[in-house]
Structure 1
Amino acid sequence: MSLVLPDLPYAPNALEPHISARTLEFHHGKHHKAYVDNGNKLLEGSDLKGLSMEEIMKKTAGDASKAGIFNNVAQVWNHSFYWKCIKPGGGGQPTGKIAEKIAADFGSFDKFVEEFKNAGATQFGSGWAWLVLDGAKLKVTKTLNAENPLTQGMKPLLTMDVWEHAYYLDYQNRRPDYMATFIDKLINWEFVNANLG
């Protein structure tokens, strides 16, 4: 299969004032598109071309000779997942199964928020903060650059992009403000619940 740039699941201005149409124009239309285009070029003629993104990531993770393929394919996957993790009118307290599981595994929603923000704040440079299922237990983790918890046997449920291109036009260097807004106003808990299964 070829890598494809998915349409955003909402209008480019739908997340305003929290994330501007201008940010989405660059983040989705330029950065995400570049990963798709570069990934397709690198996969052309390779024995990985017919595989799913998940299979390609697992086969190329940690292989320095295939770092270009891994980085671009993983970034296509990460961004395609990220767009679904946010929605207009999202954020705040979750409901349903994920709310119960967060209370059981973290002790409280506030404790989850503290760990999730800490993962985003302490990710030095570019990367991602994740809520994952590690076996049967929820866990917060962070990854550098294009890394994805799938390659470590964990199941991603939610991600927050902390690359500067995700927030710089709207928040400049104020990553903590972007993270607070992400949690309070943007998380698509229905999508997280669906991932929990």
Structure 2
Amino acid sequence: MGAPFTMNPLPYAEDALSPVISAQTLGFHYGKHHTTYLNTLNKLVENDPLKEKSIEEIVKATAGKEDKRTIFNNAAQVWNHDFYWRSLRPNGGGKPSGRIGEMIKDSFGDYDKFKSELANAATTQFGSGWAWLCLEGGKLTVRKTPNAENPLHLNGVKALLTIDVWEHAYYLDYQNRRVDHVNATIDKLLNWEFAEKNLG
């Protein structure tokens, strides 16, 4: 019997997000880091009933359980990365229009305040982690999570977009300049169509 989980293809070519994220970074990030999480997850659940569940279900079932921490970390990182790739698009970013644009105005006051809050969450996440735009109680919020943590298992919180701030997401292109990477990602790569679709 084959491995239960396989890699979802990238939604664009490896060089499509250049120059903000180079083909070299995307190749390593998707081809090595993301793939390793998936391969490790497959080994971990080989003899576990969890292998019958979806990645999302595994994340929810293992969250907060110390004896399942390794499974959670790898499943969550697979889910996080699949979500992250779709949170980005070539020629994306900037101020959105439509429903998501209106909600940003209602929730944050204006786009600049939203951008500042998202960038602050991404740059102040100590060590490795993620910054998220979420829907909570009809309003948009910004959250940051450490390591593999994500909003999937939080009641009443729905992720709309994410920015990866693990060093492997930007170090080849920006070295220690996380702030520059985050600002360029917000300005040029965020996939507002994906966020709007996630509003449901």
Q: Smaller-chain TM-score range?
A: over 0.9
* Cα deviation digits, residues 111-132 of structure 1 (max 9, x gap): 1111101111110000000001
Secondary structure at 2:83 match in 1: helix
Q: 1:141 offset after TM fit, Å?
A: 0.2
Mind listing any 5+ residue stretches in structure 2 that lack a counterpart?
none
Q: Percent identity?
A: 60
CA distance in 1, matches of 2:164, 2:40: 20
CA distance in 1, matches of 2:51, 2:162: 26
Secondary structure at 1:48 match in 2: helix
* Cα deviation digits, residues 44-71 of structure 1 (max 9, x gap): 1112111111211111111111011000
1:159 and 2:185 correspond: no
**What code does the residue aligned with 1:32 have?**
H
CA RMSD of aligned residues (A): 1.0
Q: Paired residue for 1:74?
A: 76
Q: 1:135 offset after TM fit, Å?
A: 2.4
Alignment of 1:38-57 (within 5 A): 38-57=40-59
1:22 and 2:13 correspond: no
Q: Paired residue for 2:11?
A: 9
Secondary structure at 1:156 match in 2: strand
Q: Paired residue for 1:189?
A: 192
Count of matched residue pairs? 197
Q: Paired residue for 1:178?
A: 181
Q: 1:137 offset after TM fit, Å?
A: 1.6
- Within the candidate set 126, 129, 134, 1:127 is matched to 129
- Within the candidate set 145, 148, 162, 2:147 is matched to 145
Q: 1:74 offset after TM fit, Å?
A: 0.4
**What code does the residue aligned with 1:66 have?**
K
Secondary structure at 1:49 match in 2: helix
CA distance in 2, matches of 1:185, 1:4: 29
CA distance in 2, matches of 1:143, 1:4: 25
Secondary structure at 2:145 match in 1: strand
CA distance in 1, matches of 2:62, 2:98: 36
* Cα deviation digits, residues 76-132 of structure 1 (max 9, x gap): 000000001111111111111100001001111111111101111110000000001
1:83 and 2:85 correspond: yes
Secondary structure at 1:41 match in 2: helix
TM-score for both structures, normalised by structure 2? 0.96
TM-score for both structures, normalised by structure 1? 0.98
**What code does the residue aligned with 1:178 have?**
H
Tell me which moved more, 147-156 or 124-133.
Answer: 147-156
Q: 1:6 offset after TM fit, Å?
A: 1.1
CA distance in 2, matches of 1:164, 1:3: 25
CA distance in 2, matches of 1:173, 1:94: 29
